[in-house]
Amino acid sequence: MDLSTQPVQNSMKPGKWVNSTCKMCLHSCVTRIHITDDGVVNKVEGHPTAPSNNGRLCPKGNAAILRHYDPTRFKTPLRRTNPEKGPGVDPKWEPISWNEALDIVGRELKRTMDEDRRKLLPAINDFQKLFLWAWPAAYGNANYFSSVGNFCGGGYHPMNGFVHSAFAAANDVNYCNYWINNGGGDGFSSHLHTAAQANHVAKARVERNMRVVVIEPRLSIGGAKANEWVPIRPATDRQFALGLCHVLVYEKLYDVKFLKKDTNAPYLVGPDGYFVRNAEGKIYVWDAGDGQAKLWDDPSIKDFALEGTYQVEGKECKPSFQKFKDILRDCTPEQMSEITTVPAENIRRIAREFAKAAQIGSFIEIEGRLLPLRPAGYNFYRGAQGHKYSAMTNQSFKLVNFLIGAIDTPGGHVGATLDDQMQEIRGGCGMINAGENGMMKTAPHQLHPEVPFSYPPNETHLMGYFPIGVDPGHLTQMTLENPEKFGLNYKPDTMLMCHSNPVWNLSGKREKWFEMMRGMRFIVAIDILPNESNEWADIILPAHDLLESWNLTMIEPPHHEGMCLRQPATEPLYDTKSEEEIFNEISERLGILEIWNTIQNFVNGFHQKPELLLDPKTKYGDKEIAERKGKLWNGQDLNWYIEHGHAVTPRKPEKWYRPWEGMRLHFYIEDILRARDDLKKKMEDANVAIRHEWEWYDYQPLPTPKLDPVHEEPQEFDMYAITFKDIQINFGESIGNPWINDIVFKDPVHTTVLLNTATAKAKGLANGDIVRIESPYGSIVARVSASQGVHPETVCVSNALSRIATQNSAVRLGGGNFNELLPANLKNTDACSGQPETVAKVKLTKLTVMPAEFMASNSAYAHGRGH
Amino acid sequence: MAKWGMVFDLRRCIGCNACAVACKQENTLPNGMFFTKTLSEEVGVFPNVTRIYIPTICNHCEDAPCERVCPTGATYTRADGIVLVDHDLCIGCGTCVVACPYDQRTRIESEMLEQGLFNNGELTPFEKQGNVRFTAGTVQKCTFCHERVDAGLDPACVATCPTEARIFGDLDDANSKVRRLIQEHRGRQPLPEKNTNPRVFYID
Amino acid sequence: MHSRHFMNEEEDFKVGPRSQKAWGVHIATAFFFGEAGAGLYFVSQFFDFTIGMSIALLMVLIGKGGGHLVHLGQPMRGWRALAKVGTSWISRGLLAIAVFVFTGALHVLNLNTAFMPQALSALVSLVAVAACLVIMVYQGFAMSHSSAITLWSTGLMPVASLTYGLLNGVLLTLVLGFNTPLLNDHPEIFQLLQAAAIALMLYGLVMVLSLLHGAKYGSEGGQKSVELLVRGAFAGWFVPVVILLGFVVSALFMSFAPRNLFSMIAVAGTELTGYYAFRVLMFKVGTYDPVMSFAHHFRR
Ligand SMILES: Nc1nc2c(c(=O)[nH]1)N[C@H]1C(S)=C(S)[C@@H](COP(=O)(O)OP(=O)(O)OC[C@H]3O[C@@H](n4cnc5c(=O)[nH]c(N)nc54)[C@H](O)[C@@H]3O)O[C@H]1N2
Ligand SMILES: Nc1nc2c(c(=O)[nH]1)N[C@H]1C(S)=C(S)[C@@H](COP(=O)(O)OP(=O)(O)OC[C@H]3O[C@@H](n4cnc5c(=O)[nH]c(N)nc54)[C@H](O)[C@@H]3O)O[C@H]1N2
Ligand code: SF4
Ligand code: SF4
Ligand code: SF4
Ligand code: SF4
Ligand code: SF4
Ligand SMILES: [Mo]
C-alpha cells in the first residue's frame, strides 16, 4: 500500500458521518460529524442539506471537537473536600459514584424542601433544553438566580410579545432592502443563528444590494460591513429612534392605511392613559368622515382619525397616534442629536431614506396571498435595548417599524418564535390569540407563565413584581443585602445550577456575590466544564457534552423552522449522564418525579398529541424526550431524524407574515398601564414597604425621551463602558477552547479595551497602557488600544476579557468581569421589564504597576504581548 | 485538467476566522499554526472609518518561488496546479519559507506537536489520529485540501465559510463561478508585483 | 489604526508587514563561516598560503556545514538538498561546498606532497577556486533570488556576499599570515592586503548603505526593514556594530594603527563582528510585504 496516497485529511479518513446539531452557542445549526473507524471524532461540518445554516458553521461550531476532548471536563461526579470556598480556591474535588452524589443532592435538596422550598436558588440556562428551565416549578419554587434572557432581553422579549406575540424578531432578509441594525449582531456576529444568519444577510447584501445602516458606539463587524456606520453615544438609542419617528410623523412619511386598519393607533386615549370605553367596555375611535366618535368596530366608520383632540363620554381624549405625536414634538432631530451625538441631518436623512425604501403602498403576492411589501426594517438587540427604560426603548424601535407599516410583513420587521413548538406550549406563549376590542392578545411572557404576586415576596429577585418581564436575577444582590426592606422572610441557602454561570453572567459587585455564595449551605452544579460558578459547588454532576447526547431543538430561528437532531457521535468519554437523567434521578429522590413529568408534558407540548404524554411514574431519558419532540413536530420517529438529521424548512409564509391578519396590533400598549396599576393595587393591599420607591415611571404606554439614569452619574465618570459578544465567542465561555483562543487572542478587539484614538490621545493614553476602568459600582483593569472605530466617549470591553478566576487553566484571565461595573439595583432596572442597565459610566486611570493578574501565565495579556 | 483556484469576496467576509478553525480541524494543526487566516485593518478616520477583512491562504502560485528555491524537490506542483510539500523529502531548510512572499509556510517543530492543543504535554485522541499528517522538522502549508478536492468536495475552509466569501473552482473553465467572478469584478491577485501569478483572487 | 508597538505584531491578525522567522542565527552562522572561510581560501590560494587554505577548509566544512545541519529540521536527510541544482541556489551551494571541500583538500594535500600530475593539479585548484567563489556569492543569490523579502531581493545581495567574503579573507590572511613567511618575507603583500582591506571596507560601507536605500524605496516591507535597522528595535546593533565597528572603526584602525599582530587581530575582530552582526540582522529584519499592498483600493 502506498501510504502517501492515503488520505490524511481528517474528513477523508475511513469512518462514518452522523447527523447532528451544533450546541457551541445556544442556536442550532445543523451539522454532520465524522468519526474514524477507531471511534475518534475528527471533523464537524455544517450539514449541506439544512437550509438554515446552509452547510456552514461559525468558528465556535468548528471548535466542538476540542470541547469534547477538553481535559478539564468533569469526568465523574465530584464532591468538594475543601471547606474553604472562594474565587480561584481549589475545591479539592474527590470523585464519587453517581449513586452517592445523587443521594447527597437528593438529601440536601429534600432538607431544603422540607424547611422552605423558596430557599433554593435555581439557575438553569440551557436554551436547547428549554423544558429543563421548568424544573424548579416541580420543586415548588420560582426563584431564578441567573441572567439569561434578562441581561439581553429583559425588555426585548416582552415587547416582542406585545407586538408580535413572539419571543424574538428579525428583519425579513428575504425582501429587506434597507436594514437598520441598532446594537445587535444579527447577520454578522451574534444572535439569531449566528452562522446561518450571516449567510443569509451576506447574500442579501451582495446579491440584492441590501443597504445596511449600523447604529452602534463601536465599529462592530456589522458596522464594518455596513454601508453606513453611525456612531452613537451609548444608551441613547431610544432617543435616536424617537428622532426618526419625529421625522416620519412630522414629515408625514408614515403608512396611514396600516396604522388605521391594522393597529390601535386610532383608538381614543383618555386622560388616565386608558382607552375610552363605553359601558360595555368597547373602545371609541373618532370618525373623521362623520366628525363623531364611534365604537372601533362600527361598520359605518368612514375615516379613522389619527390626530386631533376630542370629547367622548365626557372625557378629553386623543387617538393614540396623536398621543405619540405629542411626545414627538420634543424629539426633533436637533434635540435628539444633542443626546445621541448623531448629527441632526443624519437622523433626518436616514429617516427619509428608510421611508423611501419602505415603498409604502406596495404589495407582493406570496403563495397566493397579497401582502404589503415593506422592504425596510429597524432591527435591534442586546446593546440597543439593554438599558434602564428598556420597555420604552424597545417600543420606540418597534414604532419606527410601525410608522412605515413594516410589522410582520415581507421585507420588514417580523416576529420570530423561540422554538416553534410554542403554539401550544408553556401556556401558549408565542401563540397568536385574539384579544379584546379587535386587538391581538398580548403575550409578554415568552419564557414562562406569570409568577404570581406575593408579599412577603416568595422570590429573591422579586419576579412577582414584574408582571411582564424576564427574571431579573441580579436583583437578588439588592434584596439579600437588605432583606428587611423588601420583606424577605427567608434566606436562600441552597443552589442548583445547570448549564449556567451566574457568578459570571450577573451584574453587580463580585465580592457581594461571593459573599452570598459563601453563605450557601449546599450548592450542586450540573455542568461539563469548570467555570466561575461551579467552582463554588459542593457536588458536581457531570453532564454529557453535545457529542454524546440526544436532543431535538430549533432555537430562535429567524427564517427557518423545524426540529434539528442532536445524537451521540461517540459513547460518552467519561462517567457522565444526560441532564434529563440527572433531573429524573433528583426528582425521584425528592418525590417529585410525577409532577416533573407532568410539567415536562406541558412545557414540551406533548399534551397536543396524547400518545406522546409521558407516563408520570416513568423516567424518560434524553433519547425518549427527543423522539417525542420529533413526533410532535412532524410525526416522524427518531429513525427518520437519524437519517435526515433535521426537519428544517423555510418558515411558512402564513406563520411568518401577518399571522394576526384581521386583528389590530398594539401601537399603544395599554396593557403596560394595566400591569402598573394592578401591581400598584396589589402592593397597596399588601402594604409593601418599597412601593413608594418602586420605579413607577417605567411603565409607559408609549416611549418618552427621558434620559436613562446612567447618564446622570457624577461628572467625573466621563466615559461609557460597553460589553459585546462576537462571532468567535459564546459569552466568555468558549474562551479556553484552544482553537478559539488561537483566533481570538490575535485580535486587538479582544485582547485590549478599545478607545477612540483622539480620546486616548487627550487622556494621555498610549497603546498598551494599563488602565483601571472604574464606575460608581466597581472596577476592572485592562490594557488599552486606540481605534478610529469607537465613539469618542466609549470604552469597549470584549467578553473575551471578562473571565475571572477559574479552575479551567485554558481560560485566559482578562483583568476582571465587565459586570462588576454595573449596578444591581432597582434604580437602574426597568421596573416594567426587569431589564438591567448594561452600560456603565466610567473613568479611566492609568496604572504604572502591572497588576498581578496580568502576570499570570494564563492571562489574556501574558501571551506574547508583554512589554 | 482543472486548474484549481480560489476567489475571496471581500464584500462578504466578516473576519470570523471560521475558515481558520475549520482548517485546524481538518488538518489537526498545532496551536499557533495556520494554513489560512483572515486579517483585518482599519481604514479611515473617525467617523468615516471602516474595517476590511482579508482572508489569506497559500495562493498555489503558478510561478511559485517556494518551489523554485526548494533544494530537494519536496515542494512540487501537481498537474491541477495545487502546490504541495512532500514531507518525506523535505529537510526543513526553510528556504521556501523565506521565499514565499505571502508568509504562508510554517516549519513544524516537534514541540508544537508534543505540547498538545491543551498545552499540557498530552495529546487528545483527536490529535493522536491527526498528527500523523506531519513530520516534525518539515515545512507545511495549505494543501488546498487536495484529498477533499480529489473526492469532489470543497476545501474545508470553503465549505464552512458562513458568508460564502470563499469560492473554489476551476480557473481553466471559462464557465466556472471563479472565472466569472474574477472577470465580472476584475479580480486582483495578491502582491502582483512579486510575479508569482497566484491562483487566488480578491474581488470586492 | 490599532497600533502595534506593544503587541507581538507577528501574531496579530492584522494586515501589515511581518518579519520572517525561518532563518535565524544558525543560518547566519553558517553564512558567516561560509563567507569568511571561502574568502580566506580565495586569498590564501592566491598566495599559496597553506595554513590559510587549511583553516578555510575547516571553517567551511565544520562552521558552515555544521551551522546548516543544526538549522535543518531533518538533518539526516540533508543530502537531499543536492537534488535541484538546476533551479535552487541552495542545491548549487551545497554542491559547491562538496566540490570545494573535496578539491580544496586535494589541492592543499597536493601543495605538500605534489602527488598529482601538473595538469590535474591545475584543474583541481581551478575547480577549488571556482567552487570557493560560488560559496562566496551563492548565499547572496539564495537571498536575492526570490522577491518575498524586499531587503534581500536585490542584486546587491550577492555583491555584498562577495565583498564581505573577500574582506573577511583579506583580514583573516593578515592575521593568520602575520609572522609567517608570507607576510614577513613580503611586505608588499602586507601593504597590498592592507590597502585592499581599506578599499573593501569603504566599498562595503557604500554597498550596505545602497542596500538600505534600495529597500527603503522598494516596498512597505523594505521600508519596515530599514526602519528596524535605523530607528527601530535593531538600531542599537546595526549602527554601532555593523556600520561603525564593522566599517568605520575597522578602516580607521587599519589605516592608522601600528603594524603588529595585535592590531591585525583587532581589525579582524571588529570587522568580523560587524559582519556577523550584518548577517544576523539581515535575517532579523527580513520583512514580508503586507499581503494586501492594494488593500486601500477596497475602501467603500
Ligand atoms: N456569537 C455569539 N452569538 C450569540 C451569543 C454569543 O455569546 N455569541 N449569545 C446569544 C445570546 S443569549 C444573545 S442575548 C444574543 C445577543 O446578541 P447581540 O445583541 O448581538 O449581543 P451583544 O454583542 O451583547 O450586543 C450587540 C452590540 O451592542 C453594542 N452595544 C453595546 N452597548 C450599546 C449601546 O448602548 N447602544 C448601541 N447601539 N449598541 C451597544 C455592542 O457593541 C455589540 O456589538 O446572541 C446570541 N448569540
Ligand atoms: N459581561 C457580560 N455579561 C453577560 C453578557 C455579556 O454579553 N457580557 N451576556 C448576558 C446574556 S445575554 C446571557 S443570555 C447570559 C448567559 O449566561 P450563561 O447562560 O451563564 O452563559 P454561559 O457562559 O453559556 O454559561 C453556561 C455554562 O454552561 C456550561 N455548559 C455548556 N454546555 C453545557 C452542556 O451541554 N451541559 C451543561 N450541563 N452545561 C453546559 C458551561 O460550562 C458554561 O459555563 O449572560 C449575560 N451576562
Ligand atoms: S452559530 Fe452557534 S449553533 Fe451555529 S455554528 Fe455557531 S456556535 Fe454552532
Ligand atoms: S470564514 Fe469566511 S467570512 Fe469568516 S473569516 Fe473566513 S473567509 Fe471571512
Ligand atoms: S503562496 Fe507562497 S507557499 Fe503558496 S505557492 Fe505561492 S509562494 Fe508557494
Ligand atoms: S523546507 Fe522543505 S519544502 Fe521548503 S525548501 Fe526546504 S526542503 Fe523544500
Ligand atoms: S484549502 Fe484546506 S488546507 Fe487550505 S486553508 Fe483551506 S482548509 Fe486549510
Ligand atoms: Mo442572552
CATH number of the domain where residue B36 is located: 3.30.70.20
ipTM for the whole complex? 0.96
Hey, what domains does chain C have and what are their CATH numbers? 15-299 (1.20.1630.10)
Q: Say which of B12, B15, B21 has its CB closest to residue A63.
A: B21
Q: Which three cell numbers stand for residue A103?
A: 443521594
Chain region(s) in chain A for CATH 3.40.228.10: 156-442+665-690
Collect contacts of A107-116 with beta carbons under 8 A, ≥24 apart.
A107/A589, A108/A494, A108/A521, A108/A522, A108/A524, A108/A538, A109/A139, A109/A494, A109/A496, A109/A522, A109/A524, A109/A586, A109/A589, A109/A590, A110/A589, A110/A590, A112/A493, A112/A494, A112/A521, A112/A522, A113/A139, A113/A140, A113/A590, A116/A490
Task: Decide if pLDDT at C134 tops 90.
Answer: yes
ω into B47 cis (within 30 of 0)? yes
Residue numbers of the domain that contains B35: 4-203
- What Rg value do the Cα atoms of chain C yield, rounded? 21
Which residue among B9, B11, B12, B19 is best mutated to probe the pocket of ligand 4, counting the most ligand atoms within 8 A of its Cβ?
B19
* Contact residues, chain A, for B34 at CB < 8 Å: 742
Give the binding-site residues of ligand 5, using a 6 Å CB cut-off: B 58-61, 64-66, 83, 100, 102, 104-105, 141, 196
Alpha helix (H) residue ranges in A752-792: 757-762
Contact C239, C278 (CB under 8 A): no
Chain A nearest CA to B136, separation (Å): 16
Q: Say which of A8, A43, A789 has its CB closest to residue B147.
A: A8
Q: Say which of A746, A768, A783 has its CB closest to residue C12.
A: A746
User: Which residues surround the ion ligand 8 when the cut-off is CB under 5 Å?
Assistant: A 152
Into how many domains does chain B fold? 1
- E strand spans, A208-252: 211-216, 228-231
Whole-angstrom Cα distance, residue A129 to residue C126? 83
Whole-angstrom Cα distance, residue A71 to residue A63? 15
- Per-residue confidence (pLDDT) for residue A806, from 0 to 100: 75
Predicted confidence band of residue C3 (pLDDT cuts 50, 70, 90) = very low
Contact B57, B104 (CB under 8 A): yes
pLDDT digits (tens, 9 = 90+) for C240-266: 999 999 999 999 999 998 889 999 999
Q: Is the CB of A58 under 6 A from ligand 3?
A: yes
DSSP assignments along chain C, one per residue:
----SSS-TTTS-BSS-EE--SS-HHHHHHHHHHHHHHHHHHHHHHTT-HHHHHHHHHIIIIIIHHHHHHH-SSGGGGGGGGTTTTT-HHHHHHHHHHHHHHHHHHHHHHHHH--S-HHHHHHHHHHHHHHHHHHHHHHHHHHHTSSSBTTT-STHHHHHHHHHHHHHHHHHHHHHTTTSHHHHS-HHHHHHHHHHHHHHHHHHHHHHHHHHHHHHHH-HHHHHHHHHHHTSTTHHHIIIIIIIIIIIIHHHHHHHS-SSHHHHHHHHHHHHHHHHHHHHHHHHT-EEPPS-TTGGGG--
* Contact residues, chain A, for C9 at CB < 8 Å: none
* Contact residues, chain B, for A10 at CB < 8 Å: 25-28, 129-130
In this prediction, residues A321-329 reach a mean pLDDT of: 98
Chain B nearest CA to A515, separation (Å): 33
Neighbours of A342 (CB within 10 A): 24
In this prediction, residues A700-719 reach a mean pLDDT of: 98
Ligand that comes closest to the CA of residue A58: 3
Question: Which CATH number applies to A709-862?
Answer: 2.40.40.20
Of chain A, the percentage scoring pLDDT greater than 70 comes to 97
- Per-residue confidence (pLDDT) for residue A3, from 0 to 100: 44
Per the DSSP assignment, residues forming a β-bridge with B154 are none
Contact C143, C152 (CB under 8 A): yes
Q: Say which of B68, B107, B191 has its CB closest to residue C22.
A: B107
Comparing CA positions, the residue from C2, B129, C295, B130 lying closest to residue A784 is: C2
Mean pLDDT of chain A: 95
How many angstroms from the chain centroid is the CA of residue A500? Answer: 14
Task: Tell me if chain A has a CB within 8 Å of the CB of B51.
Answer: yes
Per the DSSP assignment, residues forming a β-bridge with A540 are A78, A525
Which residue among B25, B54, B163, B167 is best mutated to probe the pocket of ligand 4, counting the most ligand atoms within 8 A of its Cβ?
B163
ω into A738 cis (within 30 of 0)? no
Q: Which helix (H) or strand (E) holds A30?
A: strand A30-36
Predicted confidence band of residue C7 (pLDDT cuts 50, 70, 90) = very low
Q: Is A576 left (phi over 0), alpha (psi -120 to 50) or beta?
A: beta
By the 10 Å C-beta count (0-12 exposed, 13-18 middle, 19+ buried), A407 is classed as buried
pLDDT digits (tens, 9 = 90+) for A825-859: 999 999 999 999 999 999 999 998 877 777 777 88
Please give the distance, rounded to the nearest whole angstrom, from the Cα atom of residue B181 to the centre of ligand 7.
20
Q: Which helix (H) or strand (E) holds A312?
A: strand A310-312
- What Rg value do the Cα atoms of chain A yield, rounded? 27
Contact A59 B21 (CB under 8 A): yes
pLDDT digits (tens, 9 = 90+) for A258-317: 999 999 999 999 999 999 999 999 999 999 999 999 999 999 999 999 999 999 999 999
Q: Which residue has the higher pLDDT, C293 or A228?
A: A228
Residue whose C-alpha cell is 444591581? A824
Task: Tell me if chain B has a CB within 8 Å of the CB of A340.
Answer: no
The model's pTM is: 0.96
Contact C255, C262 (CB under 8 A): no
Q: What is the DSSP letter of A248?
A: H
Of chain B, the percentage scoring pLDDT greater than 90 comes to 98
Neighbours of B145 (CB within 10 A): 27
pLDDT digits (tens, 9 = 90+) for A162-200: 999 999 999 999 999 999 999 999 999 999 999 999 999
Per the DSSP assignment, residues forming a β-bridge with A755 are A786, A795
Q: Which helix (H) or strand (E) holds A325?
A: helix A320-328
Give the chain C residue nearest B101 (alpha carbons): C148
Predicted confidence band of residue A425 (pLDDT cuts 50, 70, 90) = low
pLDDT digits (tens, 9 = 90+) for C218-232: 999 999 999 999 999
Neighbours of A464 (CB within 10 A): 18
- Per-residue confidence (pLDDT) for residue A867, from 0 to 100: 31
For chain A, the residue count is 867
Give the chain B residue nearest A52 (alpha carbons): B162
By the 10 Å C-beta count (0-12 exposed, 13-18 middle, 19+ buried), A497 is classed as buried
- Ligand 4 closest atom vs CA A727: 4
Per the DSSP assignment, residues forming a β-bridge with A787 are A756
How many angstroms from the chain centroid is the CA of residue A267? Answer: 32
- Fold designation for A156-442+665-690: Dimethylsulfoxide Reductase; domain 2 (3.40.228)
- Is A596 strand, coil or helix? helix
Mean pLDDT of chain C: 91
By the 10 Å C-beta count (0-12 exposed, 13-18 middle, 19+ buried), A5 is classed as exposed
* Contact residues, chain B, for A46 at CB < 8 Å: 159-160
Neighbours of C294 (CB within 10 A): 15
Whole-angstrom Cα distance, residue B87 to residue B137? 9
pLDDT digits (tens, 9 = 90+) for C74-113: 999 999 999 999 999 999 999 999 999 999 999 999 988 9
Give the residue whose CA is nearest to atom 2 of ligand 3: A25
Q: How far apart are the first and last CA of chain C?
A: 17
Q: Which helix (H) or strand (E) holds A391?
A: helix A390-403
Comparing CA positions, the residue from A247, A287, A270, A268 lying closest to residue A403 is: A247
Contact A802, C39 (CB under 8 A): no
Collect contacts of C261-264 with beta carbons under 8 A, ≥24 apart.
C261/C175, C261/C178, C261/C179, C264/C171, C264/C174, C264/C175, C264/C178
Chain A nearest CA to C144, separation (Å): 31
- Per-residue confidence (pLDDT) for residue A1, from 0 to 100: 35
Chain B nearest CA to C230, separation (Å): 22
The CA-atom distances, in angstroms, between C282 and each of A781, B92, B97 are: 39, 20, 15
Q: Which residue has the higher pLDDT, A798 or A860?
A: A798
In this prediction, residues A721-741 reach a mean pLDDT of: 95
In this prediction, residues C2-20 reach a mean pLDDT of: 66
Predicted confidence band of residue A256 (pLDDT cuts 50, 70, 90) = very high
Neighbours of A395 (CB within 10 A): 29
Chain B nearest CA to A199, separation (Å): 4
Task: Decide if pLDDT at B45 tops 50.
Answer: yes
Q: Which three cell numbers stand for residue A755?
A: 478607545
Q: What is the DSSP letter of A442?
A: P
Whole-angstrom Cα distance, residue A583 to residue A613? 18
Q: Say which of B16, B86, B148 has its CB closest to residue A11.
A: B148
